[in-house]
């Protein structure tokens, strides 16, 4: 650790091998939690009762794991950048283009099934600012598509299979594709719009079953497989898709 930088509500420490790590103290945290995210880097959330020095030591002690996750995050970033450079589809119905222009600042537009990221001529097309803007564009596209598709799809599958859902909440979840609250609300990840239809339906049906059975025991799997016989195969396929770009 070679430097400390203060920013509002957080502190950034620069580690020799890992690089910049953002530390955020949170009133509701129960432990030191390390998150490695594409386009965001390493973020550490820690409880108020834990000192910054203690949280930093946890980072030091898990540096090998962090470095491996950073490498994975960088691969995810490069994959998305490559798709964008080729004008490829980065969500269900949205393709992205990165365009060099005479503009003075990076700008982003999402419209008509296209995400256009414009950057000033002479700038690095894969620089940090452009990478962050690209990710914002993907999330904006996924949010638009999710609002148009997911609530109606939940309602359709619930009707077909006799489930009741109290409501659907769409979120940019960090580590889950979906969840079900005790009140029967279903939370779905916006980035389901980057997955094949079969996996979207699997996640929805998985959470609909949770409106009746909260656990993942035999009873849960028996019910899920009674309406979706290939549920375990789809679950294994879903597990190969991490909640990263």
In the numeric block, the tokens 């779905």 are attached to: 188
In the structure encoding, which two tokens stand for residue 217, read together? 């025991």
Kindly report each contact of residues 8-12 with a partner whose C-beta sits within 8 Å and lies 24 or more positions away, as own/partner. Answer: 11/52
87: left (phi over 0), alpha (psi -120 to 50) or beta: left
Residue 187 burial (CB count, 10 A): 17
- pTM for the model: 0.77
Answer positive or negative: Cα dihedral of 69, 70, 71, 77: positive
- Least confident range of 14-28, 197-211, 215-229: 14-28
Q: What are 97's strand-pairing partners?
A: 116
Does an H or E element contain 133, and which?
A: helix 128-161
How far is the C-alpha of 45 from the C-alpha of 243, rounded, in Å? 19
Which tens digits make up the pLDDT trace of 111-145? 888 888 888 888 776 677 777 888 888 889 999 99
Q: What angle do CA 189, 192, 198 make, to 5 degrees?
A: 135
Mean pLDDT of the chain: 88
According to the model, what pLDDT value does residue 50 have? 92
- For the chain, domains (ranges, CATH) are 3-74 (no CATH), 76-140 (no CATH), 145-239 (3.30.2010.10)
Q: Give the 3-state secondary structure of residue 63.
A: helix
According to the model, what pLDDT value does residue 126 have? 67
Question: Is 75 a residue whose pLDDT tops 50?
Answer: yes
């Amino acid at each position: 650790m070679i430097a400390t930088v203060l920013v509002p509500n957080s502190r950034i420490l620069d580690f020799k091998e890992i690089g910049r790590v953002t530390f955020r103290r949170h009133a509701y945290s129960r432990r030191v939690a390390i998150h490695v995210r594409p386009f965001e880097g390493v973020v550490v959330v820690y409880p108020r009762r834990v000192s910054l020095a203690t949280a930093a030591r946890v980072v030091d002690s898990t540096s090998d794991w962090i470095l491996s996750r950073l490498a994975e995050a960088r691969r995810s970033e490069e994959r998305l950048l490559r798709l964008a450079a080729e004008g490829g589809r980065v969500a269900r119905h949205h393709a992205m283009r990165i365009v060099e222009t005479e503009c003075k600042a990076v700008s982003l537009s999402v419209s008509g099934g296209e995400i256009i990221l414009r950057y000033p001529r002479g700038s690095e097309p894969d620089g940090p600012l452009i990478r962050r803007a690209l990710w914002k564009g993907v999330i904006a596209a996924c949010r638009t598509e999710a609002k148009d598709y997911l609530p109606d799809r939940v309602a359709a599958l619930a009707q077909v299979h006799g489930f009741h859902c109290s409501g659907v909440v769409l979120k940019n979840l960090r580590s889950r594709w979906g969840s079900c609250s005790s009140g029967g609300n279903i939370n779905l990840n916006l980035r389901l719009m980057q997955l094949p239809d079969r996996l979207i339906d699997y996640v929805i049906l998985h959470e609909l079953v949770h409106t009746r059975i909260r656990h993942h025991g035999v009873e849960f799997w028996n019910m899920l497989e009674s309406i979706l016989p290939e549920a375990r195969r789809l679950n294994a396929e879903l597990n190969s898709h991490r909640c990263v770009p």
